[in-house]
Amino acid sequence: MSEAPLAQHPGPAAAARVSAVPCRATHRRVTLAAGATLLQAMAEAADGAGAWFDLSDLPVERLTFMRPAASPDDRHVAWYSEETVLRDAVIERAGAHLGRRDGSAFAHIHGMWRAEDGACHAGHLLAEKSVLSADHTVDVWLLEGAILETAPDAETEFTLFRPVATGPVDSPNAVLATIRPNEVIEDGIEKCAAASDLPVSAVKGLGSFVGTQLRGQPALRDIATEVLLVGEDGRSAISVGLEGPPVRGELAARANHVCVTFEVLLLSQGE
């Protein structure tokens, strides 16, 4: 198996390759309301807290998404495609980090969805431009003591989520973290887990890889692929590149490097 090239970003590499904040995560089942944008519905459910949402079989009246694209300049390793809008689609599987941008709720969502004609798509979903068509109950992990906030990143020249502490918590049971470019994803997760002495029982996360390599499948060779980790152990993924259909399967061991960023919520226990 050939190794993917590393991403060449324009800025100086940060010394710390992960940022991690211990926190407390509480699992809830919440209903997202029809007629609202996905961002509005998630923000209402979280009531100002940071959160991770598992989204599955979610019907949407309008779904807006992008996928990776070549960079239009020499200051970014990759960029985003033009927006694609689907009508009467279903989010089959997606994950969402809900945090803050400029003081307001903001979500980062990756996943896979199916159009009305049955075509399968994947990528980066725009929660503020996607509208729910029916009430739907989903799983959410509400966070106490940490939240993701956007900030300019000198290394990549993107504006990225980063975890920040929001106050002390009793008995942390989770770690909210981000992993920097070119880290092997397994190494990055291990470094994030080391921020806490708690054992990790589940990994929730999304971000980008320099290509994606799955066991027993042809690799995606694009410089940037959008990725959602699936399964409790974080060893399987849904991924899509610049062209072609999404792929899904078990990640090839120690073969996938972060492209721009990867955001994870590490849970120490199920509820």
Strands (E), the chain: 18-32, 51-66, 68-69, 79-80, 84-101, 104-114, 120-125, 131-132, 136-144, 146-152, 159-165, 174-179, 202-209, 225-230, 236-240, 247-250, 258-267
Q: Look up the pTM and report it.
A: 0.96
Other residues' Cβ atoms within 10 Å of the Cβ of residue 257: 23
Q: What is the pLDDT of residue 5?
A: 78
Q: Do domains 18-23+145-267 and 25-142 have the same CATH topology?
A: yes
Q: What is the pLDDT of residue 4?
A: 61
The domain over range 18-23+145-267 is classified in CATH as 1.10.10: no
pLDDT in tens, 108-134: 999 999 999 999 999 999 999 999 999
d(CA 159, CA 156): 8
pLDDT in tens, 50-65: 999 999 999 999 999 9
Q: What is the pLDDT of residue 3?
A: 60
Assess contact for 205 and 264: CB atoms under 8 A: yes
250 CA to centre of own chain: 17
Closest CA to 85 of 49, 106, 61: 61
Other residues' Cβ atoms within 10 Å of the Cβ of residue 72: 9
Q: Answer whether residue 271 shows pLDDT above 50.
A: no
* More confident site: 256 or 4: 256
d(CA 166, CA 100): 12
Assess contact for 37 and 131: CB atoms under 8 A: yes
In the chain, where the domains are located: 18-23+145-267, 25-142
Q: Which tokens belong to 42?
A: 């998630």
Q: Where are the alpha helices (DSSP H) in the chain?
A: 38-46, 185-193
Residue 269 pLDDT class (50, 70, 90 cuts): confident
Return the CATH fold of 25-142.
60s Ribosomal Protein L30; Chain: A; (3.30.1330)
pLDDT in tens, 147-174: 999 999 999 999 999 999 999 999 999 9
